[in-house]
Structure 1
Amino acid sequence: MPLKDMMNKAQQLPNIPKVVQELIESFGNEDINTDDIAKKLASDQVLTAKVLRMANSARYGGNRKIGSVNDAVVVLGFNALRTLVLASGLTSAFKAPEGFDIKQFWRNSFTCAALCKWLAKFTKLDSEIAFTCGMMHNIGGLLIHILTPDKAIVIDSAVGQGQDRKQIQDRQLGFDFTEAGAELAQSWRFPQEIVDAVRFQLSPEQPAPYAKTVYLAMFILSLNASKQPEQMLAEFPDHIAKSIGIDVDQMKNRLAETKAIDSGLDELLG
């Protein structure tokens, strides 16, 4: 199925809430009216309830009670609040296809997002944008499972036998999850830097700094899961890390932190 045809089918997917769409469009907009956004968010009671529950968790709210969206803006800051709203809106927008563990999908996405945010601290990149890139990095994979479930099963089986996911998707579909995800992100009007992060996450030679962050995050995930971590550490892509301003020695000295990294968003999954 050509990617264009699949994206036309994607119009059948549930729409994300309008306030989430406005928050997506607020990236890079220094003139955003946070009061106006807060009012619109407050009008969506389900989304507000989820966001406030997360905002009052130990990870975000600390000891202060956050009783309203305006309180959340003050305590968390607009950028962190936007991240919570995006996470809430995205996890609510998709229904799991039969046999697909969507909770595990989002856990994996949130873990990658948390690693991207951790890596951004060693750079001059925006940590909340980095988190969003990680959260969105495999959205194309979810789209493929929803819109082409039969082929997705064949692809998963091939991957389970050791084949490369990108290559088998190219053969079966004519495109891969990075292309599908980038097209979806573009259709939702995410800023170009996030679209590029999704599209080029497997091509770190591209001049897309957030794509390099996703690439490094996925390498660290593999490193932490490896039975031969010393060998993988020796193969760490230092040049990619250096290209986005990371002090590699400093980062490697703190890699142990990533084994227990937590996005703080598991509550969204119930």
Structure 2
Amino acid sequence: MGNTTIIQKVEQLPRLPKALNELLQIVNDDDAELGLLAEKVSHDALISAKLLRLANSARFGRRREIGSIEEAVIRLGIQPLRILVTASAVTSAIPPVNGVDLVKFWGRSFEVAFFCQELGKRAMLRHDTAFTCGLLHNIGELLLALMEPIKWRQVQAAVAEGADQAEISLYLLGVVPAEVAAQLASEWYFSDELVAGLRYQEDPPSAKSPSKLALVLALAKYLPLHWDDCTDAQRTSWLAQQTEHFRLRLQMDGLASRLEKMLGAGEETARQLV
């Protein structure tokens, strides 16, 4: 299960604030009205500021700059709003970590989250759950860097020399980052499905009960790192091979072009939200 001392440290981390928890529940409610969302978002000054910045960014902006939360919610729509609230809740809850470039760290997290969301949707999973699972997939690394900085630097040095991160983490720290991430998600009262997805992301077949989310997350982590392994002309057949290898059945129509647009979008989002 993992190093007891480290798991206890995770348990002692601050819980998500009640107001953020309530906001997360509202934005993940498919029946929530935009007016109610705007009202709840306006109660959080930090999220409101990020929401306005995102709504006026090049990605969503129009000629006329907007200044009200109501207009921002309408301009962005429910999906970007869910992303923003979830990301703000998670990124604001973890303290800064010395030596960690948070834009790069969260940029990688967001990219995997975007891939996970798209793949999850095509695997008939809730795409908001898939997004959150992708966003949290490497949070264990950040927590280990926070709680055990010296040993985590040793882990990083060994990985740079070719060691397997999970194996060296287990040897030096007695726990793997995926277990730390799962523990944090459990402490924050995320769903059992999401916790299992995080816990078994490195080895989905080892899950006691089959976890399609773990398979989706594993594929979402793999694809951006190996995107250039094939040419554009080979992309669709390559993606089909990868989904088969990861034992997933996905709706493949237009998948290559959708994922192509997400490459690099993670760091852009991190700059706006972190």
Q: 1:106 maps to which residue? A: 106
Deviates more, 1:143-152 or 1:205-214: 205-214
- After superposition, the Cα gap between the structure-2 partners of 1:36 and 1:227, relative to the gap in structure 1 and judged at 3 Å, is closer
Deviation for aligned residue 1:66: 4.8
> Does 1:132 pair with 2:132?
yes
Specify which of 235, 238, 241 is matched with residue 243 of structure 2: 238
Q: 2:8 maps to which residue? A: 8
Deviation for aligned residue 1:135: 0.8
Is contact 2:114–2:262 with CA below 8 Å preserved after alignment? Answer: no
Deviation for aligned residue 1:113: 1.1
Q: Distance in 2 between matches of 1:50 and 1:245?
A: 34
- After superposition, the Cα gap between the structure-2 partners of 1:246 and 1:227, relative to the gap in structure 1 and judged at 3 Å, is closer
Is contact 1:115–1:261 with CA below 8 Å preserved after alignment? Answer: no
Correspondences of 1:10-89 after superposition (within 5 Å): 10=10, 13-26=13-26, 38-60=38-60, 66-89=66-89
Three-state SS of the structure 2 residue aligned to 1:96 is coil
Q: Distance in 1 between matches of 2:175 and 2:62?
A: 44
State the AA in 2 paired with 1:218: K
State the AA in 2 paired with 1:141: E
Q: 1:164 maps to which residue? A: 164
Deviation for aligned residue 1:100: 2.1
Is contact 1:72–1:81 with CA below 8 Å preserved after alignment? Answer: no
Q: Distance in 2 between matches of 1:179 and 1:54?
A: 32
With normalisation by structure 1, the TM-score equals: 0.81
Q: Which runs of 5+ in 1 are unaligned?
A: none
Q: Distance in 2 between matches of 1:189 and 1:40?
A: 20
Is contact 2:155–2:169 with CA below 8 Å preserved after alignment? Answer: yes
Deviation for aligned residue 1:114: 1.7
Q: Deviations over 1:39-87 (max 9, x none)?
A: 3431221221112211332334556755433334434344431220121
> Does 1:266 pair with 2:259?
no
Q: Distance in 1 between matches of 2:2 and 2:133?
A: 25
Q: Deviations over 1:168-213 (max 9, x none)?
A: 1111222211111011001111122221221121223342222222
Is contact 1:6–1:147 with CA below 8 Å preserved after alignment? Answer: yes
Is contact 2:178–2:199 with CA below 8 Å preserved after alignment? Answer: yes
Number of equivalent positions = 266
Q: Distance in 1 between matches of 2:259 and 2:33?
A: 40
Q: Distance in 2 between matches of 1:19 and 1:79?
A: 20
Q: 1:213 maps to which residue? A: 216
Q: Distance in 2 between matches of 1:66 and 1:110?
A: 25
Is contact 2:139–2:181 with CA below 8 Å preserved after alignment? Answer: yes
Is contact 1:61–1:76 with CA below 8 Å preserved after alignment? Answer: no
Q: Distance in 1 between matches of 2:254 and 2:38?
A: 39
Q: Deviations over 1:197-256 (max 9, x none)?
A: 2112122334222222211111112213659998xx599433255634343x864x5487
- After superposition, the Cα gap between the structure-2 partners of 1:164 and 1:34, relative to the gap in structure 1 and judged at 3 Å, is same
What is the CA RMSD across the aligned residues, in angstroms? 3.4
- After superposition, the Cα gap between the structure-2 partners of 1:26 and 1:194, relative to the gap in structure 1 and judged at 3 Å, is farther
Deviation for aligned residue 1:2: 5.1
State the AA in 2 paired with 1:224: W
With normalisation by structure 2, the TM-score equals: 0.80
Q: Distance in 2 between matches of 1:167 and 1:177?
A: 10
Three-state SS of the structure 2 residue aligned to 1:125 is coil
Identity of aligned pairs, percent? 33
Structure number with the bigger relative contact order (C-alpha 8 A, sep ≥ 6) is 2
Q: Distance in 1 between matches of 2:57 and 2:173?
A: 42
Q: 2:187 maps to which residue? A: 187
Three-state SS of the structure 1 residue aligned to 2:100 is coil
Q: Distance in 2 between matches of 1:72 and 1:265?
A: 16
State the AA in 2 paired with 1:105: F
Is contact 1:91–1:268 with CA below 8 Å preserved after alignment? Answer: no
> Does 1:257 pair with 2:255?
no
Q: Distance in 1 between matches of 2:239 and 2:53?
A: 42
Three-state SS of the structure 2 residue aligned to 1:245 is coil
Deviation for aligned residue 1:155: 0.7
